[in-house]
Amino acid sequence: MAARDRVFGLVYVSPLMLVLAPFFVAPILVVLGASFFQSDGFGGIIATPTLQNYIDIFTSKLTADLYTETVKFTVLTWLFSLIIGFWVAYFLVFHVRNPLLAIGLFLLCTVPFWTSNIIRMISWIPLLGKEGLINMTLIRLGFVKQPLEFLLFSSFAVVVAYVHQLTIFMIVPIFNSMARIDKRVVEAALDAGASRLDIMRMIILPLSKNGIALGSIFVVSIVMGDFFVIKVMSGGGSASVVGALYEDVGVLQYPSAAASAVVLTIVVTLLVALILRSVDIRRELAQ
Amino acid sequence: MDLGPGHIELAGVVKSFDGFINAVDGVNLKIPDGAYCCLLGPSGCGKTTILRMIAGHEDPTTGEILIGGENVVGLPPVARRTAMMFQSYALFPHLTVRDNIAFALRVRGLSKAARYRTADAMMEKVRLTDFADRLPAQLSGGQQQRVALARAAITEPRVLLLDEPLSALDEHLRVQMRQELRAMQRDLGITFIHVTHTQLEAIALADLVVVMDKGKIRQAGPARDIYDSPNDRYVAEFLGGQNVLSGQVRTVNGHHAEVAALAGSGIRVPLTPGIHVDAGDPIAIAVRRDDVELVRPGKAPAADTVALAGKVTGVEYQGYFVKVLLDAGGSADFVAYVSERKFFSDPVGIGEAVLVTWPIEVARLLR
Amino acid sequence: MTAAEHAIAAPVSRAVVAHAIAPRSSGRPWTFYALCTVFVFYVLALYGPMICIYILSFQDVRGGLVFPMKGLSLHWFVDLFTQVRTGDVKGAFERSVKLAAIVTVATVIFSFLAGLAFRRSFPGDGIVFYLMIGSLVAPGLVLSIGVGLLLHFIGIEGSWYTSAVGAQLSWTLPFGVLVMFAVMSRFDRAWEEAAYDLGASRWQAMRLIVIPILAPGLVAVALFGFTLSYDEFARTLQTAGSLNTLPLEIWTMTLNVTSPSLYALGTVTTIISFAIIAICLGTIATIQKRRASRAPTG
């Protein structure tokens, strides 16, 4: 019976593999391959292996700048989405008494995730612009005399858009982790005289670690791999690694784009692996 | 010789899940057709594994399982004409009571009218007709159990297997449902195999009690035999109701052995046929808790009784009897069940010294 | 008395008592109000900008891209669907919906099967799991380029109903399978075993028991499949071929935005999304409500 089940397992998972193989594994390999070749300048690829693409990347100051910008945004987004996401999840799990209401509010936070993120991004424009709602209100109320320019088409706007889009990725795993904490453990701690700070420090934070790690993986990989939020919200003022990649592809410079993509993928993989070291992801997800 | 369709025999059954430890370690057992059999033991003793192997949800690593004389190892559950009642009842949450019960008929291709007819008859039997259109989540524990029973019985199996059916119920309901199970079994006339860890439940229900430990059968027989004449220390202690004292054989003389216990004079114990002892052997003896009489020191104990010095360490009122815990005969867990009226005619308190006595002939040597 | 007995006997200090969270029956601690405020601000910030867009899409003909509203009109909605210069919105719409439908069906079926597979361990299950996670975190554009290059080398033309399907599945399937993991873990194997015990064949057990019980989970997977596909952009960018899906249209408009017709598009597409969400969540809620336990009557 067990052997037959194992065969069934392989059969059942084959459709998934039929998708992953050509649409994940193969493209990665193709990009990897293309990164070692040369461009013929017209969008084709000359099949002579060369390391020139990588050398160009690692010796170019542009690379360092791009990664600095991208990492800067990644860290800022991660920080703010974590802080907001943690407290929202905490509020929903520990302060909302009615479980049905908690689920309802949780869904309220999740629904925007299921709508277009481009639309959600550009929806900040009428708010943050020089003639936008916030500036108009501030001027009307007399807080400022001139419209605040830094609100839109700036790093501030980029981070706002990212946090707006990605906090949900923090809320969901952290909510999950917190919801699994047995409330009786907290009660027992209270009985023993622990303060709320103690409980946070010694019970809730350690037990939410997995959720935080999972959320971080999502946030980091999405921000590092993004190109359109930065392009639009910074008004062209900032660039990102993938943004530059996109430009390269636009001018049909496939090999250099490929090399850049490979380097980025390795960096993101390393970051994700680093985070994974602190959590058993398989157990966490497959529970 | 016709064994009957529900006659079960396990021959040399071994089950190992990981290749190292045997969950079931060489079990041989014969269960007569139409008997109510209880597999009794603590968690992990292998009783549920045996049940599942009879059902066909697990296969033995080695050994044979015969139902009605034919070897069923390798047959799927449905081909064995057995039915199982799961511990959690496993009622299909999305189907009504009627659909739950009629499920077995549905998968056999019966028309809706036909299977509802049979299901309704079954619901009558278990008194659930008023709940026919309810979903399992809307039923109480006792009602859910009856649905599970009806669902299993509708296939007219020759053996019904019950995996701790009463564990999920509270005390009061448990005692009530016990009688329903027994009545159902008599009504259907088929073999029931009931797995439980509750001693009182097993001896209340079963024609055949099988006491298990760590994958092996320790003793199998009618309830009274097991309770009154346990073979070994494990069975005596597990069934409860017995005090087990350790000692060493001092002398043996034909009918009795004299055993030196740790405190006090030698204890004379009748020899059990089948157990051979020599002087110097370590031995265990069992005395029923309700055979023990407490006597004030200074009063002479009755003739032909064993008397040991003891100290009362606890008194528990249990309604129609009082449980007196004592330190006696080298055992700190010595227990005497004293009838309530007798106890309160001359109650003893904690810390008092008493003589623990019993008639010589009621004690038993254990293996 | 020993030190321990002293510690136990000493009265608990007022500070300790005051710091403990208030008991169930009485009022809330100050942190509740602070966190409530945070939560409210978060929800406002979440929905606020979107609501602005919806309002602005009803901007008057003479109005611009920002407040104030000069009047109310449906002009920009009409403009969206009729003017050629705003691109082939109608066509992109149809393609997106069809594509999302295909991807949804594939996602539900493939995720369901994969979820079944992962119930027991099978050779290579670790590899499959990590490949799935990899597909989830990989930068969408990179995969998109890779598929584009692959197709170029093989000499096949990509299109929205072939290569884009696969590219989008590489994004939706990990989500679907993860949801199935969560759903399967709450599925009691005893139900399946009981079905076999009662004589059901493998297929009957699947059809009559497993799938109906898992139905809410499957609807959730469908929700993910549809919405993730409908809004998918990066992976579709290089794999959709010559005809755009809706997100690609939106992207083009974003780069060339000159009128509130973009907002009108945002409103319309969000209505579609909300409709799908409402249908799915409503279905799940209805099924769960029917199966939820009510107080037993004896």
Q: What are the tens digits of pLDDT across the range C22-63?
A: 444 456 788 888 899 999 999 999 998 888 888 888 877 776
- Chain A residues with CB under 8 Å of C45 CB are 164
CB contact under 8 A, B57 and C194: no
Q: What is the pTM of this model?
A: 0.83
List chain C domain ranges: 87-256
In a 3-state reduction of DSSP, which class is residue C200? coil
Instruction: State the smallest CA–CA distance between residue B293 and chain C in angstroms.
Output: 42
Q: Give the mean pLDDT of C87-108.
A: 89
Q: What is the per-residue pLDDT for B261?
A: 57
> Mean pLDDT across chain A, nearest whole number?
85
Domain A61-285: homologous superfamily in CATH: MetI-like (1.10.3720.10)
Q: What is the DSSP string of C22-60?
A: PPTTS---HHHHHHHHHHHHHHHHHHHHHHHHHHHTTB-
Nearest Cα neighbor of B89 from B133, B127, B140, B54 is B140
B336 forms beta bridges with B324
Predicted pLDDT at C27: 67
CATH code, domain carrying B261: 2.40.50.100
Name the more confident of B285 and B35: B35
pLDDT value at A127 more than 90: no
Domain C87-256 sits in CATH at: 1.10.3720.10
Interface of B with C in 48-77 (CB under 8 A): 55-57, 76-77
Asked whether residue B25 falls in the same domain as residue B149, the answer is yes
C209 and B92 within 8 Å at the Cβ level: the answer is yes
Residue B141 is assigned to a structural domain of this protein: yes
Same domain assignment for residues B254 and B164: no
Give the pair of three-digit tokens for residue B139.
């039923």
Contacts of A285 in chain C (CB under 8 A): 178, 181
Please, which pLDDT band fits residue C89 given cuts at 50, 70 and 90? confident
Same domain, yes or no: B217 and B178:
yes
Domain boundary residue, one of B167, B202, B228: B228
Q: Give whole-number Cα distances, C225 to A224, B25, B298, C245, in Å.
A: 24, 50, 87, 16
Residues of B in contact with C292 (CB under 8 A): 137
Average pLDDT over residues B124-135: 91
If one compares B279 and B51, the residue with the highest pLDDT of the two is B51
For residue B44, the enclosing domain spans 8-228
Residue A42 has pLDDT above 70, yes or no: no
Q: CB distance C208–B83 less than 8 Å?
A: no
Is residue B3 situated within a structural domain? Answer: no
B108 CB near a chain C CB, below 8 Å?
yes
Mean pLDDT score, A216-226 = 91
What are the phi and psi torsion angles at A35 (to 5°)?
-70, -15
d(CA A126, CA C238): 30
- Do B40 and B171 share a domain, yes or no? yes
Tell me if chain B has a CB within 8 Å of the CB of C213. yes
Tokens of B7: 């006659």
Whether residues A196 and C116 touch (CB distance < 8 A) is answered with no
> Which residues of chain B from 148 to 177 reach within 8 Å of chain C, CB to CB?
151-152, 155
Q: Which two tokens stand for residue A177?
A: 């982790």
Residues in chain C closer than 8 A to A112 (CB atoms): 46-47, 50
**B160 shares its domain with B80:** yes
Strand partners, B239: none
Where do the domains of chain A lie?
A: 61-285
Please tell me whether residues B220 and B256 are part of one structural domain: no
Give the pair of three-digit tokens for residue B21: 């430890």
Let me know whether B303 and B200 are in one domain: no
Neighbouring CB atoms inside 10 A of A124's CB total 25
Query: What's the CA gap between B181 and B194, in Å, rounded?
Result: 10
Whether B327 and B305 map to the same domain: the answer is yes
- How many domains are contained in chain B? 2
Closest alpha carbon within chain A to C228: A114
- Name which of A152-166, B199-213, B263-277, C263-277 the model is least confident about: B263-277
Cα–Cα distance for residue pair C177/A25, rounded to 1 Å: 18
Q: Both B79 and B179 in a single domain?
A: yes
HEC-encoded secondary structure of chain B? CCCCCCCEEEEEEEEECCCCCEEEEEEEEEECCCCEEEEECCCCCCHHHHHHHHHCCCCCCEEEEEECCEECCCCCHHHHCEEEECCCCCCCCCCCHHHHHHHHHHHCCCCHHHHHHHHHHHHHHCCCHHHCCCCHHHCCHHHHHHHHHHHHHCCCCCEEEEECCCCCCCHHHHHHHHHHHHHHHHHHCCEEEEEECCHHHHHHHCCEEEEEECCEEEEEECHHHHHHCCCCHHHHHHHCCEEEEEEEEEEEECCEEEEECCCCCCEEEECCCCCCCCCCCEEEEEEEHHHCEEECCCCCCCCCEEEEEEEEEEEEECCCEEEEEEEECCEEEEEEEEEHHHHHHCCCCCCCEEEEEEEHHHCEEEC
Report how far apart, in Å, the C-alpha atoms of B174 and of each of B145, B149, B151, B166, C124 are: 11, 15, 20, 6, 47
Cα–Cα distance measured from residue C274 to residue C261, given in angstroms and rounded to the nearest whole number: 20
Cβ atoms of residues A275 and A216 within 8 Å: yes
Q: What is the pLDDT of residue C19?
A: 46
Q: What is the pLDDT of residue C22?
A: 45
Phi, psi of A105, rounded to the nearest 5 degrees: -65, -40
Q: What is the largest CA-CA distance in chain A?
A: 78
Contact state of C251 with A228 under an 8 Å Cβ cutoff: yes
For residue C294, the Cα-to-chain-centroid distance in whole angstroms is 30
- Which residues are within 8 A (CB) of A226 and not within 5 positions of it... i.e. 6 or more apart? A162, A240, A242, C139
The amino acid present at C91, given as its one-letter code, is: G
- The crossing angle, in degrees rounded to 10, of helices C140-154 and A241-250 is 20
Does the CA dihedral A250-A256-A260-A262 come out positive or negative?
positive
With a pLDDT cut of 90, the percent of chain A lying above it is 22
- Tell whether B190 and B150 lie within a shared domain: yes
Torsion of Cα atoms, C83 then C88 then C93 then C99, to 10° = 180
A23 shares contact with chain C (CB less than 8 Å): yes
DSSP state of C68: S
Backbone φ and ψ for B279, nearest 5 degrees, come out as -60, 140
Instruction: Produce one character per residue of A80-91: b if its CB has 16 or more CB atoms within 10 Å, e if not.
Output: bbbebbbbbbbb
- Asked if B169 and B77 sit in the same domain, the reply is yes
Looking at beta carbons, which pairs linking A281-285 to residues 24 or more positions away fall under 8 Å? A281/A213, A281/A214, A281/A217, A281/C133, A282/C126, A282/C129, A284/A177, A284/A210, A284/A211, A284/A214, A285/A214, A285/C178, A285/C181
pLDDT at B324 over 90: yes
The span from the CA of C147 to the CA of C258, in Å, is 33
Say which CATH number the domain at B108 has: 3.40.50.300
B235 occurs within a structural domain: no
Give the tens place of pLDDT for each residue, C188-228: 889 999 999 999 998 999 999 999 999 999 999 999 999 99
B349-363, C1-15, C122-136, C277-291: range with lowest mean pLDDT:
C1-15
Optimal mutation site among B87, B92, B147, interface C, most CBs of chain C within 10 A: B92
Tokens of A88: 């929202």
- The pLDDT of residue B157 is above 50: yes
The verdict on C73 touching A (C-beta cutoff 8 Å) is: no
What single letter denotes the amino acid at residue B156?
E
CB atoms within 10 A of CB C263: 27
Task: Answer with the one of B228, B257, B272 that is the final residue of a domain.
Answer: B228
B32 is a domain residue: yes
| Structure token digits, residue B210 | 């099988």
The answer to whether residue B222 scores a pLDDT higher than 80 is yes
Question: Does position B212 have pLDDT exceeding 90, yes or no?
Answer: yes
Give residue for tokens 């009022």.
C27
Q: Give yes or no: residues B202 and B342 share one domain.
A: no
Q: Do B45 and B25 contact (CB within 8 A), yes or no?
A: no
User: What string of DSSP letters covers chain A?
Assistant: -HHHHHHHHHHHHHHHHHHHIIIIIHHHHHHHHHTTSEE-SSS-EE----SHHHHHHHH-HHHHHHHHHHHHHHHHHHHHHHHHHHHHHHIIIII---HHHHHHHHHHHHGGGGS-HHHHHHTTHHHHSTTSHHHHHHHHHTS-SS--GGGSSSHHHHHHHHHHHHHHHHHHHHHHHHHHS-HHHHHHHHHTT--HHHHIIIIIHHHHHHHHHHHHHHHHHHHHT--HHHHHHTTTS---HHHHHHHHHHTT-HHHHHHHHHHHHHHHHHHHHHHHTTS-HHHHH--
Q: Is C143 on the interface with A (CB under 8 A)?
A: yes
Cα(A198)–Cα(C242) distance, integer angstroms: 59
| Average pLDDT over all residues of chain B | 89
- Which residues from C are below 8 Å from B78, CB to CB? 196-200
The closest of B29, B78, B77 to B50, measured between CA atoms, is B29
Number of other residues whose CB lies within 10 A of the CB of residue B42:
11
d(CA C29, CA A135): 36
For residues A181 and A207, give the distance between their C-alpha atoms in angstroms, rounded to a whole number: 7
Residues of chain C contacting A6 with CB distance shorter than 8 Å: 120-123
> pLDDT at position B100, please?
95
Q: How far is CA A1 from CA A5, A6, B57, B60, C78, in A?
A: 6, 9, 10, 12, 63
- How far away is chain C from the Cα of B139, in angstroms, using its nearest Cα? 5
Write the pLDDT tens digit of every residue in A223-282: 998 888 888 888 877 888 888 888 888 887 788 888 888 889 888 988 888 888 877 666
Contact (CB<8Å) B83/C198: yes
Q: Can you tell me the distance from the alpha carbon of A154 to that of B366, in angstroms, rounded to the nearest whole number?
A: 88
A149 vs C181, higher pLDDT: C181
Residue C249: pLDDT band (50, 70, 90) is confident
Residue B118: exposed, middle, or buried by beta-carbon count in 10 A (0-12, 13-18, 19+)?
middle
In a domain, B117, yes or no: yes
Contact A134, A127 (CB under 8 A): yes
